């Protein structure tokens, strides 16, 4: 194994940023990219009139609404590390995309709004990370606004999340009285809104400022010293092992919007975040330092460049080295694929990538034969990585093209957008109507918007309401069992399922037809 290859892999840090909408996720991503020199000027999500948008929000609908609805990938170098950030959608309707993204990372950064504390979506995503044993780093944001007391935020974090916390730094005041942070890790004070030369004040062995300093005159300084003493005596001990196991989260305070505390966070994060980890497969764990190339596709995105009508499959490299033009095996089909067109990402700004190693995320041009969850490997042993989570949709609409003459575009658009995995496609067995299923309403709005803007097709969507979907164990079934309350459909893989009106209709159907065996794919993943 070449020394450089090993060094390259160990320098990778691949993480997702998770939070509730509006906690400051996209803003923090921007500031991290700024430090990595990947962008010169951070676009702010709020500044719609300036025509500047966040680098990671590239889709038209995201620019209009100021929210992230797809996961974008960004890569930059910082000091001796190569960082891959996956910015996930905060909106709950896009939880599927986020859950799949979390399978492709080695750690997660959780952002909490200091005024709101732990919100519903943050908790959901946190639980997924905990379940997968992903190390979590916490950034408590918006300290330049009035928020909850820091000790209360820590208590909430530990009680609600069920995880130990260790504050790496501690705020000195907040809102209009925010003076900066007391850095426990670097044993210094970092002052807010103070020029670089004077920003940092070193502390002595007792954790206090030597001699005279204006900050010592402020009562907030004495209050902070008392709180630090309390943390030192009664708080959790720092443990790298617990961080790696996902049992302890290092906590950082700061303000992403005013770019305060972000660099300190980044440097400390890179020190303690894990390099690429081994991944489970059908033949056991695959070592990231193994020289045999392998990876899996966790996301497919159509029309990243609308002018070219392209589809990109996002691949997490799990072992070995990727070289453009290499031929790999696709175990699902048993066929070989030549990886000729490959890209690296800076949100929607792409450059051809010739080489990449374990931990990197690259985009592969997809002519239509990849599926989410596909394993690619040079190994002759046809193993596959763990299945990615699939969700049972709860909301359904019937979809048709407004203009009958646009059927060709309509079918192409549906097929391509469905392959991205955010919406699911069904066809009624008797009438062959198209139904779309999704976890949340916003997915339908994005679908309609993209059909109009990317495929030039106006669609009519009729709400069918919420349904309970159950698949058939045995494909043979009497089609006459299909009714308004238990609709028989086929998914895009040709597998039959019933869509039940409610729990009562499901139980009634099972009582009347005990020979029809049904299952929920979600049950297999728990």
Binding residues for GTP: 19-26, 87-91, 141-144
Q: Does the pLDDT of residue 478 top 90, yes or no?
A: no
Domains and CATH numbers, the chain: 16-70+87-272 (3.40.50.300), 279-377 (3.40.50.300), 395-519 (3.30.70.3280)
pLDDT digits (tens, 9 = 90+) for 397-454: 999 999 888 889 898 888 877 877 768 899 998 888 999 988 777 778 878 888 888 7
Looking at the chain, the whole-number percentage of residues with pLDDT higher than 70 is: 85
For residue 58, what pLDDT is reported?
Answer: 41
Residue carrying the six token digits 């299909």: 482
- Indicate the pLDDT class of residue 166, thresholds 50, 70 and 90: very high
* Residue 381: Cβ within 10 Å count: 11
Q: Does the pLDDT of residue 78 top 60, yes or no?
A: yes
163, 247 Cβ separation under 8 angstroms: yes
State how far the Cα of 42 lies from the Cα of 426, in Å rounded to an integer. 42
Residue carrying the six token digits 């809104």: 193
State how far the Cα of 262 lies from the Cα of 73, in Å rounded to an integer. 19
Tokens of 211: 């001699």
Residue carrying the six token digits 């905060």: 90
* Residue 373: Cβ within 10 Å count: 19
For residue 305, what pLDDT is reported?
Answer: 54
Q: Which of 414, 408, 400 is nearest to 447 (CA)?
A: 414
For residue 417, what pLDDT is reported?
Answer: 79
User: What is the average per-residue pLDDT within 276-298?
Assistant: 95
Alpha-helical (H) ranges within 66-168 are 95-102, 120-132, 150-161
Three-state SS letters, 40-54: CCCCCCCCHHHCCCC
Q: Does the pLDDT of residue 303 top 50, yes or no?
A: yes
316, 310 Cβ separation under 8 angstroms: no
State how far the Cα of 32 lies from the Cα of 346, in Å rounded to an integer. 12
For residue 304, what pLDDT is reported?
Answer: 55
Query: β-pairing, 180-183 with 169-172?
Result: antiparallel
pLDDT digits (tens, 9 = 90+) for 247-266: 999 999 999 999 899 999 99
Tokens of 15: 């993480």
- Indicate the pLDDT class of residue 176, thresholds 50, 70 and 90: very high
For residue 172, what pLDDT is reported?
Answer: 95
More confident residue, 158 or 34: 158
Averaged confidence pLDDT in the chain: 84
Binding residues: 19-26, 87-91, 141-144
Q: Which of 394, 396, 415 is nearest to 492 (CA)?
A: 415
For residue 92, what pLDDT is reported?
Answer: 54
pLDDT digits (tens, 9 = 90+) for 360-394: 988 888 877 888 889 999 998 889 998 876 667 88
Instruction: Using CB atoms within 10 Å of the CB of residue 164, give its burial: 0 to 12 exposed, 13 to 18 middle, 19+ buried.
Output: middle
Mention every residue, 6+ apart, whose C-beta is less than 8 A from residue 517. 472, 473, 474
The mean-pLDDT minimum among 83-97, 217-231, 256-270, 502-516 falls in: 83-97
For residue 96, what pLDDT is reported?
Answer: 66
DSSP element (H, E) containing 257: none
* Residue 344: Cβ within 10 Å count: 19
pLDDT digits (tens, 9 = 90+) for 20-74: 777 787 788 888 888 776 544 433 333 333 344 444 444 454 445 443 334 467 8
């Amino acid at each position: 194994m070449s020394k450089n290859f090993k060094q390259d892999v160990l320098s990778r840090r691949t993480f997702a940023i998770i939070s509730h909408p509006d906690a400051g996720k996209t803003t923090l991503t921007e500031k991290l990219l700024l430090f990595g020199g990947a962008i010169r000027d951070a676009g702010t999500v709020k500044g719609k009139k300036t025509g500047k948008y966040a680098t990671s929000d590239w889709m038209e609908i995201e620019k209009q609404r100021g929210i992230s609805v797809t996961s974008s990938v960004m890569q930059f170098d910082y000091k001796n590390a190569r960082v891959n950030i996956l910015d996930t959608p905060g909106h709950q309707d896009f939880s599927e995309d986020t859950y799949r993204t979390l399978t492709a990372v080695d750690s997660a950064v959780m952002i909490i709004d200091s005024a709101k504390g732990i919100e519903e979506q943050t908790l959901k995503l946190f639980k997924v990370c905990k379940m997968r044993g992903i190390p979590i780093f916490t950034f408590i944001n918006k300290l330049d606004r009035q928020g909850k007391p820091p000790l209360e935020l820590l208590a909430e974090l530990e009680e609600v999340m069920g995880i130990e916390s260790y504050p790496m730094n501690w705020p000195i005041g907040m809102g209009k009285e925010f003076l900066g942070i007391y850095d426990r890790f670097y044993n210094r004070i970092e002052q807010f809104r103070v020029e670089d030369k004077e920003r940092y004040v070193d502390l002595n062995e007792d954790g206090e400022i030597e001699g005279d300093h204006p900050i010592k005159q402020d009562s907030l300084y004495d209050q902070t010293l008392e709180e630090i003493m309390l943390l030192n005596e009664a708080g959790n001990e720092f443990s790298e092992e617990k961080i790696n196991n996902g049992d302890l989260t290092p906590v950082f305070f700061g303000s992403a919007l005013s770019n305060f505390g972000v660099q300190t966070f980044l440097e400390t994060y890179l020190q303690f975040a894990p390099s690429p980890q081994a991944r489970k497969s059908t033949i056991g764990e695959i070592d990231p330092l193994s020289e045999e190339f392998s990876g899996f596709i966790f996301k497919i995105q159509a029309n990243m460049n609308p002018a070219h009508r392209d589809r990109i499959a996002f691949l997490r490299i799990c072992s070995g080295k990727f070289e453009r033009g290499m031929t790999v095996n696709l175990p699902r089909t048993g066929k070989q694929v030549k990886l000729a067109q490959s890209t690296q990402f800076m949100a929607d700004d792409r450059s051809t990538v010739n080489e990449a190693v374990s931990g990197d995320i690259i985009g592969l041009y997809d002519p239509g034969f990849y599926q989410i969850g596909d394993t690619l490997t040079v190994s002759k042993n046809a193993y596959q990585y763990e299945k990615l989570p699939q969700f049972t949709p709860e909301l359904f609409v019937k979809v048709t093209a407004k203009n009958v003459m646009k059927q060709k575009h309509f079918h192409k658009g549906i097929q391509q957008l469905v392959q991205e995995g955010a919406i699911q496609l069904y066809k009624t067995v008797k009438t062959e109507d198209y139904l779309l299923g999704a976890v949340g309403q916003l997915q339908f709005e994005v679908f309609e918007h993209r059909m109009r803007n990317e495929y030039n097709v106006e669609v009519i969507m009729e709400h069918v309401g919420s349904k309970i979907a159950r698949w058939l164990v045995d494909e043979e079934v009497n089609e006459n069992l299909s009714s308004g309350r238990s609709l028989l459909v086929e998914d895009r893989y040709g597998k039959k399922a019933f869509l039940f009106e409610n729990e009562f209709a499901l139980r009634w159907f099972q009582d009347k037809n005990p020979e029809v065996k049904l299952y929920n794919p979600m049950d297999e993943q728990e």
